[in-house]
Homo-oligomer: A and B are copies of this chain.
């Protein structure tokens, strides 16, 4: 099948392209960032259009390849912090790219399926326990607000124009090539020789960690699924809450040698205490998560030591 990935140059995008290509699909991408020829072939991309997601560029990509059967929409803001520093930029990346893509699909590829990477940030910080998809959506950051607006657009185009979409609300995705957040920060400090790591927060924060290989497999699986409703939202989380302290412990153990971790107790405003998926819907697809957290972290540490230049 002919499949497109927006934001194919990003952390999840590159993993997804590899999975899709390995399944025998022809994969084309659009989004920001230069990808060299060798690199493009290595990750499995047939065409890469480095540019804004707009009608002109989407038409150009369609001419070079052909109309896609499925588009995976991964382009968009990817940092809560940046969304606070530059909310307009985050809005443009997330919301404007989505409306332009949907409008282009409405006019030029209305039979194409759309799989969208959203974020658990749409739920906000007021939930405890496992969060089902129908929970109240009360995001905290501009990042979360804009992801919610992106979902709203998908709903609107599904209901009014029959552009089918599946929105996957991803929880804490980690894995090789993620060059930010907890694992990256810890590994960077351990590599610099620090043996007393002080981390923000209390350490008790609960997150639902999912490995990027599983996430790529989950996203790719929607291409072949018939969906019941024109719009559906589904949690991309495994339903297991693990504290930051536990994760930090696995990181230091995987790294080897002696290292201690302390928590500053300083909680970032708006940072949810608990963000864990109710995973009934994703399990019922059916879908089984494959990578255990301890193994995923060990793999990350190995990647960091060997390949993360």
Report which A residues bind B (CB closer than 8 A): 84, 87-88, 91, 95-96, 99-100, 103, 106, 139-142, 145-146, 148-149, 152-153, 155-157, 159-161
Contact = CB atoms under 8 A, between A and B. Distances in A.
Contacts of A149: 95, 149, 152-153
A161 to B, nearest CB: 7
State the oligomeric state as a number of copies. Answer: 2
A160 B142 contact: yes
Given A140-B159, A156-B145, A99 B103 contact: no
Contact of A84 (B100, B141, B160): B160
A155 B146 CA distance: 11
A35 B139 CA distance: 41
A157 B148 CA distance: 14
Given A84-B160, A87-B161, A88-B103, 14 more contacts: A87-B103, A87-B156, A87-B160, A88-B100, A95-B95, A95-B99, A139-B156, A140-B160, A145-B153, A145-B156, A145-B160, A146-B156, A149-B149, A149-B152
A162 to B, nearest CB: 12
Contacts of A88: 99-100, 103
A139 B155 CA distance: 10
B87 A91 contact: no
Nearest to A136: B136
Given A88-B99, A103-B87, A103-B88, A148 B142 contact: no
Contacts of A96: 96
A51 B95 CA distance: 23
Given A149-B149, A149-B152, A152-B148, A157 B95 contact: no
A23 to B, nearest CB: 33
A100 B91 CA distance: 10
B84 A91 contact: no
Contacts of A161: 87
A145 B140 contact: no
A152 B147 CA distance: 11
